[in-house]
Structure 1
């Protein structure tokens, strides 16, 4: 059955946000809005002021009906979707947020290292951080030398230039604590912000954002609602050589298909969990690699169906450190070992020895690990494949543990890390720690090029380190993030091209933000820039979509007024005016 809804109120299912621990562990509200008409195949249902409806019924209103408002339809309830919803509400539009999963949060809720911002009041140092743009350009690699360089630079400039404002927005408007700043791999200075409490930053930000949204009666969250199609209007006039205009979405929920009218913001995330679909198509060489993502198909096909351009689809980020669970080492879904564990002082070992600068970019560290001998190649066993993984140890000393205590305690509770006294380690590892302690103390330079050592405090003088406790867990590279996606401009408009108009042009009525988009990160994303991208471009997309919704409101009111005037000026029937 298919029915067509405008701004109709929905008794949407909305499950509570998972706990912080459940969010990290995962590898898997409704309010009234301005109602207009519900168009069905059998007739017209008019929503009255109380929100109830009756097919073919009529109600005599004693007061003038409120002006009709088109909602902004946001597809995907990760941080990009939540931010776009907040932005559209702030700009004056009601919002319907659609999420195919049972709860909001997406991958954003699992983010464990933080969000980048520069320069901010939380950063230390006598000189303001002005290197974020350069670090991002450098991280993007060879993609920056493509034909789209100018557009990439524009998107990166907006990302980095608005990063401090994004931090201020989350702190001042949403109420999130982001007072702790860490140095992450690939960054020249510390600029990755998180809170000082026990909750991971992704969970804290998502929870605070949801709490804020649910206080607004114009906001609806509809979980377990999957968008199956973008609706478009026929091409006409000036648009006959360009992309179609998006007018709404088709949604599936509990066996029923519904159509919603309004401008659309697409924030459905990437395809790192689409192992047998887009990932297999664009990166078949990654078959068998474990992932931090829940298994689900990418939704890029809905965008290409309306002509959207895709870019950088082969750029898939392999995060160097996903935990291998000793209790279930062959499980393909891994819990991420947060990058800030290395930023705060952690080191990586293979057979007891360091082999890489742990503060390199994710791409560099992962590539170095993957040149080591495989622990085991994927093998088919009983219809499933054992993952393709490596045997690398992540080790934290007491100083790094203090700075990462909430995270490490969680990993300890899950059996992903274990605590050992230094004297109980094998001799090769003990010798490595002895040498590394000398590097940190300034006795010699690091042969691997590491210059920042976080909060490492372990010393090695007359055996003083023997009684110290260290924290160790096995890690392996994991498919984590997809840099490719829909091409957007600085206004978050999705761009499309046609045979008659090969230069990409904006698709009217369609915006995108977050991991569904491409062109911002190039070959490699810096840690902490995923949440940032969601906030910066989510704010842009929500505001732009709200502007479009208001033009639709005005056009509909003008059309309604013209129709009413025309009806009132009609001549009475049964009179031949030529006789007068």
Structure 2
């Protein structure tokens, strides 16, 4: 039973829950359709985890990719391969979602660049991808922050847009078979909003004592790149939503271990593009994995030996960049250096065997030998003759809980589906709160893409629903 609210708005709005990129994309489409929007965010500042995204957004084919125009035709196949064994369940549903994601990716990049003015002209190849397709800007601002701040600025210029922060949705309201609004709390005050609802509230990777503990108790003690806050899928199952892939949790292989606070359970992500642009991983002075494999495979290689530290559980792996990689990633590395997460040093500082280990990699990059680990792309690594005095940029990294692939089931139009696979009227969802798209492993760059593709579809559908019910 819901509490009696202190305030109830009789005005109908389209309601968006969550101000990450999925919520902002939905709100942008709603405003484009002249639909009044009320966006609710539980944090004090908008942007969510999307604000932190550092590698970029996938798109294929686009005019910014290298090679002949329209030559990247493997995005769908790469995503299916990455999803792994999960495709054996709800196969048609997943394939439909993946098809929507990948086929809409070029349009998503175009929308951000051409309509919103975001710079996405630099392209890198990340792990699990067979082609460079992860787009970011050429400037100093990371892609997530660049996209989020641009959309927020545009939205704040509209009189139809209202944002309320530090407010937690406590109930999704339903009359008969139709969602009609939400109840939410701001401090001691409880309010109600009426209208169709788009849920873009994120995943549960930071819910260590709640949903994460329930679905993946084996990850107890792992650090996380997420803020500690509860998941919100239960609000949607309460109105009949179906869940999928809740055990599929992505542990990112490279989060920084801050030398000033080694035991902190909260980690800062080491962007995957650092490896994509040529960076390598060393353990005891030697490479031990193809750095361009999927996050799941690289994580498994790191965790194949006992952890170095027990609380939090973390390993001792070095991420190493040369001057060529640094030049390509200077905006990111400069920030990591400033934060003290990386240091500029020489190979001699990396311990016994590092000269030989890095030289072996340099020989592979130069084409003098074939990588026994199978790596075939090396970004912008340019160091050839490795000596103890060779300059490198290095940081200690360890796996950390990063992303939850599971959540509520949606249609390709972002409709939230009940247990019978029927859309719940008046309710849509997009982003990490949903499940079924990524399966066992999410490709880097597909989180921002998922937010734009399905957030925009949710906004379009909610706007149509709002207009059709304006006379109700």
The alignment's TM-score, normalised by the length of structure 1, stands at 0.79
Distance 1:437 1:225 in 2: 52
Distance 2:271 2:349 in 1: 26
> Where do residues 125-204 of structure 1 align in structure 2 (5 Å cutoff)?
125-126=67-68, 128-146=71-89, 148-204=90-146
Q: Cα distance, 1:425 vs. partner? A: 4.2
Distance 2:122 2:389 in 1: 29
Deviation by residue 1:12-68 (Cα, 9 ceiling, x = unmatched): xxxxxxxxxxxxxxxxxxxxxxxx4xxxxxxxxxxxxxxxxxxxxxxxxxxxxxxxx
| Worse-superposed segment, 269-278 or 466-475 | 466-475
The answer as to whether partners of 2:76 and 2:102 remain within 8 angstroms in 1 is yes
> Where do residues 276-287 of structure 1 align in structure 2 (5 Å cutoff)?
276-287=209-220
> Where do residues 177-576 of structure 1 align in structure 2 (5 Å cutoff)?
177-233=119-175, 235=176, 244-377=177-310, 386-460=311-385, 465-497=387-419, 503-554=420-471, 556=472
Aligned length: 468
Distance 1:119 1:157 in 2: 14
The match for 1:238 is none
Tell me the SS of whatever aligns to 2:30.
Answer: helix
> Where do residues 75-94 of structure 1 align in structure 2 (5 Å cutoff)?
75-94=17-36
Q: Cα distance, 1:349 vs. partner? A: 0.5
Distance 1:422 1:248 in 2: 59
The answer as to whether partners of 1:496 and 1:504 remain within 8 angstroms in 2 is yes
The answer as to whether partners of 2:23 and 2:455 remain within 8 angstroms in 1 is yes
Cα distance, 1:290–1:424 mapped onto 2, change above 3 Å: closer
Distance 2:52 2:199 in 1: 20
The answer as to whether partners of 1:398 and 1:468 remain within 8 angstroms in 2 is no
The answer as to whether partners of 2:405 and 2:437 remain within 8 angstroms in 1 is yes
Q: Cα distance, 1:504 vs. partner? A: 1.9
Q: Cα distance, 1:466 vs. partner? A: 4.7
Q: Cα distance, 1:5 vs. partner? A: 2.8
> 2:9 aligned to 6, 10, 20, which one?
6
Q: Cα distance, 1:453 vs. partner? A: 0.6
Distance 1:336 1:426 in 2: 24
- The answer to whether residue 56 in structure 2 is matched with residue 114 in structure 1 is yes
Tell me the SS of whatever aligns to 2:48.
Answer: coil
Distance 1:518 1:426 in 2: 43
Tell me the SS of whatever aligns to 2:353.
Answer: helix
Deviation by residue 1:374-432 (Cα, 9 ceiling, x = unmatched): 1022xxxxxxxx20011101000110010111111111111111111235543400011
Deviation by residue 1:229-272 (Cα, 9 ceiling, x = unmatched): 00111x3xxxxxxxx21000001112111111000000000000
Cα distance, 1:428–1:466 mapped onto 2, change above 3 Å: closer
The answer as to whether partners of 1:231 and 1:247 remain within 8 angstroms in 2 is yes
Q: Cα distance, 1:320 vs. partner? A: 0.1
Distance 1:533 1:424 in 2: 41
> Where do residues 18-37 of structure 1 align in structure 2 (5 Å cutoff)?
36=11
Deviation by residue 1:185-238 (Cα, 9 ceiling, x = unmatched): 0000000000001111000000000000011100000111111000111x3xxx
Q: Cα distance, 1:517 vs. partner? A: 0.2
Tell me the SS of whatever aligns to 2:193.
Answer: strand
Q: Which has the higher contact order (CA 8 A, sep 6+)?
A: 2
Q: Cα distance, 1:552 vs. partner? A: 1.4
Distance 2:80 2:350 in 1: 41
The alignment's TM-score, normalised by the length of structure 2, stands at 0.97
Distance 1:252 1:259 in 2: 9
Alpha carbon RMSD of aligned pairs, Å? Answer: 1.1
The match for 1:55 is none
Cα distance, 1:509–1:424 mapped onto 2, change above 3 Å: closer
The answer as to whether partners of 1:185 and 1:343 remain within 8 angstroms in 2 is yes
Deviation by residue 1:310-368 (Cα, 9 ceiling, x = unmatched): 00000000000000011110000000000000000100010110000000000000011
Tell me the SS of whatever aligns to 2:268.
Answer: coil
User: What 5-or-longer segments of structure 1 have no aligned partner?
Assistant: 8-35, 37-69, 236-243, 378-385, 498-502, 557-580
The answer as to whether partners of 2:285 and 2:350 remain within 8 angstroms in 1 is no
Tell me the SS of whatever aligns to 1:419.
Answer: strand
Q: Cα distance, 1:88 vs. partner? A: 0.8
Distance 2:239 2:388 in 1: 64
Deviation by residue 1:118-170 (Cα, 9 ceiling, x = unmatched): 00010010252111000000000001111x10110010000000000000000
